[in-house]
Amino acid sequence: MPFSVEIEFGGLCLFHLGHPNPKKVTVLLVNTDKQRLNCSDMKPQRHYPKLEFPGDPSNPDQGKDLTGYTIQVGDPSSNERVGRDFRALQRGALPSSANGGITALHWIPSLPTILHEEDKDKKPTLKDNCHGGQLPTDSVVARVQLNVGRLTCRRVAQLGVEPLRWEFHADGRSRWEQALGDRVVLRIDGLEEPLVLTLERKDDDPKQIKVRPKGYDPRNPDSPRLARVAIRNEPACDTPKKVLKHFLWYYELLEHCPEAKPVPTTVQLPDNIKLTGFLDGLLKKKLIKILSTQNVFCPPAVWKE
């Protein structure tokens, strides 16, 4: 019987659609380990790109540092289209309820859309080093090439059953509003052979990691049918009052860093109570607890040409 593999992405991960193949998706893990202040007024907190196996903590590659690697997920020659759901991003999409619609990828913010609303006369572009070449760079610490699978949103920040509404602020005014997801999952179904992750890094021989459910037995219908992998690019620790400020570091990927860098700073609660000042510590204890338990760390973003 076939099995499935899920790869969960969390942290500063930019999903670059259609590069280098129009059918594929490249995930850029953003580098914040440089003491540079040219695009923000904050000292960067180091993020750690790691490979994890939640269902198999004894795996020899558990916690592997991915710095400098390009990771191929599946066969690069595959003709499968990846990320088709991302192409359905809609302006200002706000679901009425989190129930039943948890896979909606329009809950992952699209940088070009946010910036286009800010300045319609300028088309933002990514730096050349985001498109390939040697790693790590000043902007990117690792890349993941998605060659197979289907992308979905794992979870949105919510209070009760209603999603929290986030506004992207710049220059003291709102530029964009949407619900906010914090995990993206790539799912590959119908596997009969292990999924191959190929790790490539300069001056190193390529390394292959074969993924299948621990204890999988194709002859036993009761054996595990799902293997879970996680690729995270998050700080070692932080507080909900600060984590969304890390969103600023996505703008380090741009050829020309905008003066206004919108970040999610405001929450609209279901009872129409509006809490501002997310970055300067004016959150209520209840909301801090909710965000802490949901691990809303450095939400992923999308680059959609």
- What whole-number distance in Å separates Cα of residue 131 and Cα of residue 253? 10
Residue with tokens 């896979």: 103
DSSP summary character for residue 126: B
Distance between start and end Cα atoms, the chain: 39
pLDDT of residue 167: 77
pLDDT for the residue 277: 38
For residue 85, give both structure tokens.
Answer: 């759901």
Kindly tell me the sign of the dihedral angle through the C-alpha atoms of 248, 10, 59, 134: negative
Other beta carbons within 10 angstroms of residue 19's beta carbon come to 17
SS3 172: coil
Mark residue 103 as left, alpha or beta (left: phi above 0; alpha: psi -120 to 50; beta: remaining).
alpha
What would the two tokens of residue 272 be? Answer: 């129409």
> Would you state the structure tokens that stand for residue 220, as one six-digit string?
């036993």
Q: Can you tell me which residue has the tokens 């979870």?
A: 155
State phi, psi for 137 to the nearest 5 degrees: -120, -175
Q: What is the pLDDT along the chain (305 residues), one digit of tens a residue?
A: 899 999 999 889 999 987 778 888 999 999 875 544 344 445 556 788 999 999 888 899 999 999 999 999 999 999 888 866 655 444 434 444 433 344 566 778 888 877 765 555 567 788 888 888 788 888 899 999 999 998 888 777 666 666 677 777 666 555 677 777 778 899 999 999 999 999 999 888 999 999 999 988 888 888 899 999 999 998 766 555 566 678 888 988 988 777 777 877 766 555 555 544 333 344 455 555 555 555 556 789 988 76
Judge contact between 149 and 186, C-beta under 8 A. Answer: yes
> How much is the pTM?
0.84
Cis peptide before 20 (omega within 30 of 0): yes
pLDDT for 228: 95
